[in-house]
Structure formats: structure tokens, C-alpha cells
């Protein structure tokens, strides 16, 4: 095992690379941190949960088949913060120099719905990982391991801004309470066992890779779809909540910087600017020439039981000690996210337009319901082509993706020919077979719902474990 590992972590000069272990590698921060560490020459190992749905789209672009041992410096392993044995096993096997605990049930509103699970993963999960690191050090003597714990500005809760490392915590959600526990577990293991363990109290950080159920990405995703004509309304909650928003790509550098110091410590990472959700709306909609007030609807379901009114960080310590400062400002961040989501909406529109252009062509080739046979199979084809302009100008012949009237009988994926790992053809084809006992083809086509078109497409791909189409 040791010889295999030394071979995999050595560079061309025979020097051993640094090895990093990341929990939450498939998330926004995990993907940016992985890119950053790979650029630094690290070997990166990520722990992922077993799931029927693949969610590795944020790291697919940097994934290399592990059989290519000379190029594959990122490797993924199954583990879970709720399973202490898997954490200890992989730490013993990988023998990391740095451990970054980024995994969490990180949605604040959802934490009110599943508080037990949130606490188990976010709070006790951090404790399990710290204990795995401690016991590994005790057994092996590898005291050089450095540990990073991802904190959150939500821990400050109702404490007035600006918030620094010396500001008392007043958490206002199960997620925030759990993060406070993880923070103090980290401090405790640092003081009790001498582990090099740092807390990074990161204020809100966003990017085009942000999950679509987070308010910033929910807004920019809607802006793209509204601009292209795929959506008309956006439902939101409290527009007066104020947050300190930065770019996730900047913040992962601060994580790494913390572990390069002589002594472990805790740091606030923030832009030191605060903006309301309404200001974010104004910037995002205004950037594409729209008025947010024409499209936003307030829905009380999106208000939290206990709201956090204003978060604004004081990151003077990180700027002085680490030499860190944000590179991307608020307006640049919003524009970056809107640009990506407008392009995403354009590619989505290609598929929607394909439905309208091809439904009548397919009608002639599909079966009809007869008196003798009340069950007819409709064969429907989706073709995704990487060059959007080629589809728009009719140079390609995309098919149609239709919501099932009753149930999806069978679907098949055809992979394009490849050469040395590169796609020669840019077409991805998916054939869907639908049963309809009573509906004509016109009725099947009329059941199409634009909002669910891409959702159904993605669901099929994820459930089959194939790489997602590049409109993600």
C-alpha cells in the first residue's frame, strides 16, 4: 500500500506531492478548492455520498479516469460524515497532509424541515471527522496533518454587524446552531490535542456553480429564463435581508492560506460590503434591461421562522495575517452569474424550440390509437448538440422530449464515438418510449410543460449515471 501510494503522489522529480482530502468535493466550494489545489500541484481526494443520482457535474471537467495514474490527481471515494468508520478508513488509506471539511446540509431553510439530520451531518459529522484525524495521528504519529473546518456567517445570526472573530454567536436556525457546534468542536480539538485545526467563518459566497435553490442563483437563473422567454414570474421571500456576498473562487484561496500559517487560528472571510436581496434583484434584472418588480412575487412560504436581518463581515484579520483580499466585487459577481444563466437559458430554449419544430413531423411516424389496440407506443427522440447556433439555423435535426402521459416505458442512451477520450461527434441522443392507452399523439404533445422539460431530461441522465449534457 505504501509503495503504491508513494508512486501515485510523486511528481516527475520524485518529490512527494502534498495530499488533500476534501469532504463536500462535489459542492460549489469543493469544486473551486479542487481546481485551486490541483493548480498548486496537490493530489486531491474527495469523499462523496452514495446516491442513485450522480451529482458530480461540478467536477466532471477536471475528472480523469483513475486508471491513468500519471494524470489522475483527483480521486473520489465513497464515505459519509454520518459513518465514522468510513472517515477513519480513508484517512488511514490516503494519509492526507490537509483535510478540508466542507460537507454539510447547507441550506438554512431546509434545516428547519430536517433539523435532526442537519445536526447529525453538520455538527456531529464534524466531530466524527476530527476524531478520525485525532485517532489517526495518535496511531501513526503523523502530527503534520492540518484541518480546516468550514464555518458560516449564519452563526452570528441576530448579532449586529459588523461581525468579526470576536463577535458573539447568536444562531437563528438549526443549520447555524450546528455550525456553531462544529466551530467549538474544532477549537476544542485544537486546544485539547494540539491539532492544527482552523475555522474559516466565511460570509456568503456565490458563483455560477451555486445550487439553484439558493436565493442568488435562484434569481440569476430566473433572470436568464425570463429574458429568453421561458419563465415569467419569480417567487421570493424577504427582500430586505442583507448579506455580505463574495465570489466562491476567491474564498477557497483563503481556506488554503489558513493551513499554510505557522499557527492555527480562526478567521472571518468577507468582502465587508452588505447588500439586500432587493439590491441583488435590481442589479441582476437591470443588467439585462428588465425591471425586477414586473416579475417578482412575494411568497410567505419563503420566510424563515427566525430571520437573520443583516450580515456584514469584518475580515481585517484575514487581510492582515493571511494577506487575503477579495478580487471579485458585488456587481462583477452578479454579472458573472447572470451571464452564465442567460447562456444556460439559451441552450435550454433550443430544446424547447425543438419540441415546437418537430412535433408535427413526428406525428406522421408515430402510431395511432385504434379501436382494437388501446395501448400505443410513442417513440420520441431528444438530440442535444453542442453548437447551439447549428440547431437554431436548422443545420442539425433535434428531436423532441415530451412529459410522460402515464409512465416512461423505456429509454436508451447512445454515446457518440470517441477517440482518445475526446468526443468526435457533438450529438447526445436519448430515445424515450411512452405508453398511452387513451391519448392521441396531439394530446401527448400538448401535455408538454416547458418548466419540466429540462428537469425530466436531467433526471433521466442522472439516474442512469451518464455525464450530464453540457447545458448544465
Q: Would you please indicate which residues are annotated as catalytic (active-site) residues?
A: 152, 154, 175
DSSP string, 334-386: HHHHHHHHHHHHHHHHHHHHHHHHHHHHHHHHS----SS---EEEEEEEEEES
Please write down the long-range contacts of 464-467, taking CB distance under 8 Å and 24 or more positions apart.
Answer: 464/413, 465/54, 466/413, 466/415, 467/60
CA-to-CA distance for 448 and 352, rounded, in angstroms? 10
For 455, phi then psi, to 5°, come to -60, -45
CA-to-CA distance for 214 and 218, rounded, in angstroms? 6
| Cα–Cα nearest to 255, from 9, 86, 35 | 35
For 347, phi then psi, to 5°, come to -70, -35
Cis amide prior to 162 (ω within 30 degrees):
yes
Q: Are 160 and 310 in contact (CB under 8 A)?
A: yes
CA-to-CA distance for 186 and 146, rounded, in angstroms? 12
Distances (CA, A) of 257 to 154, 250, 318: 22, 11, 9
Give strand pairing partners of 266. 199
| Cα–Cα nearest to 60, from 462, 354, 463 | 462
Q: Are 228 and 342 in contact (CB under 8 A)?
A: yes
DSSP string, 101-169: E------HHHHHHSHHHHIIIIIIHHHHHHHHHHHHHHHH--TT-EEEEE--GGGTTTSPSSB-TTSPP
CA-to-CA distance for 377 and 112, rounded, in angstroms? 44
Return the beta strands (E) in 239-311 as ranges.
242-243, 246-247, 266-269, 275-276, 296-298
Supply the DSSP symbol for 38: H
Amino acid at each position: 500500500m505504501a509503495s503504491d501510494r508513494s508512486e501515485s503522489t510523486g511528481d516527475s522529480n520524485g518529490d512527494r506531492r502534498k495530499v488533500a482530502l476534501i469532504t463536500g468535493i462535489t459542492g460549489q466550494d469543493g469544486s473551486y478548492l479542487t481546481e485551486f489545489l490541483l493548480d498548486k500541484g496537490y493530489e486531491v481526494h474527495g469523499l462523496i455520498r452514495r446516491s442513485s443520482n450522480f451529482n458530480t457535474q461540478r467536477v466532471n471537467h477536471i475528472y480523469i479516469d483513475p486508471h491513468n495514474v500519471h494524470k489522475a490527481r483527483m480521486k473520489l471515494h465513497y464515505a459519509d460524515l454520518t459513518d465514522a468508520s468510513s472517515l477513519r478508513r480513508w484517512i488511514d488509506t490516503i494519509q492526507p497532509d490537509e483535510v478540508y471539511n466542507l460537507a454539510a446540509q447547507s441550506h438554512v431553510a431546509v434545516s428547519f424541515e430536517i433539523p435532526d439530520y442537519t445536526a447529525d451531518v453538520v455538527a456531529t459529522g464534524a466531530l466524527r471527522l476530527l476524531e478520525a484525524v485525532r485517532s489517526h495521528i495518535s496511531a501513526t504519529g503523523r502530527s503534520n496533518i492540518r484541518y480546516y473546518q468550514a464555518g458560516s456567517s449564519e452563526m452570528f445570526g441576530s448579532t449586529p454587524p459588523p461581525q468579526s472573530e470576536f463577535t458573539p454567536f447568536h444562531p437563528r436556525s438549526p443549520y447555524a446552531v450546528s455550525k456553531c457546534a462544529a466551530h467549538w468542536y474544532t477549537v476544542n480539538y485544537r486546544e485539547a490535542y494540539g491539532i492544527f485545526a482552523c475555522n474559516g467563518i466565511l460570509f456568503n459566497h456565490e458563483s455560477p456553480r451555486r445550487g439553484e435553490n439558493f436565493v442568488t442563483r435562484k434569481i440569476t437563473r430566473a433572470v436568464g429564463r425570463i429574458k429568453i422567454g421561458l419563465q415569467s414570474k419569480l417567487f421570493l421571500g424577504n427582500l430586505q435581508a442583507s448579506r455580505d456576498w463574495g465570489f466562491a473562487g476567491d474564498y477557497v484561496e483563503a481556506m488554503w492560506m489558513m493551513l499554510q500559517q505557522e499557527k492555527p487560528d480562526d478567521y472571518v472571510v468577507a468582502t465587508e460590503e452588505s447588500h439586500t436581496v432587493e439590491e441583488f434583484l435590481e442589479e441582476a434584472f437591470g443588467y439585462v434591461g428588465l425591471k425586477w418588480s414586473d416579475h417578482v412575487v412575494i411568497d410567505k412560504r419563503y420566510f424563515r421562522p427566525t430571520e437573520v436581518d443583516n450580515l456584514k463581515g469584518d475580515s481585517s484579520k484575514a487581510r492582515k495575517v493571511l494577506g487575503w483580499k477579495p478580487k471579485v466585487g458585488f456587481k462583477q459577481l452578479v454579472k458573472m452569474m447572470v451571464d452564465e444563466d442567460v447562456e444556460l437559458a439559451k441552450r435550454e430554449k433550443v430544446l424547447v424550440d425543438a419540441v415546437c419544430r418537430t412535433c408535427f413531423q413526428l406525428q406522421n411516424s408515430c402510431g395511432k390509437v385504434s379501436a382494437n389496440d388501446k395501448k400505443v407506443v410513442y417513440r420520441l427522440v431528444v438530440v442535444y448538440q453542442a453548437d447551439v447556433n447549428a440547431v437554431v439555423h436548422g443545420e442539425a435535426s433535434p428531436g423532441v422530449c415530451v412529459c410522460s402521459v402515464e409512465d416512461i416505458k423505456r429509454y436508451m442512451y447512445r454515446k457518440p464515438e470517441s477517440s482518445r477520450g475526446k468526443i468526435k461527434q457533438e450529438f447526445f441522443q436519448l430515445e424515450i418510449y411512452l405508453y398511452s392507452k387513451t391519448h392521441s399523439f396531439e394530446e401527448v404533445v400538448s401535455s408538454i410543460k416547458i418548466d419540466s422539460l429540462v428537469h425530466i431530461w436531467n433526471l433521466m441522465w442522472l439516474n442512469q449515471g451518464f455525464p450530464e449534457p453540457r447545458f448544465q
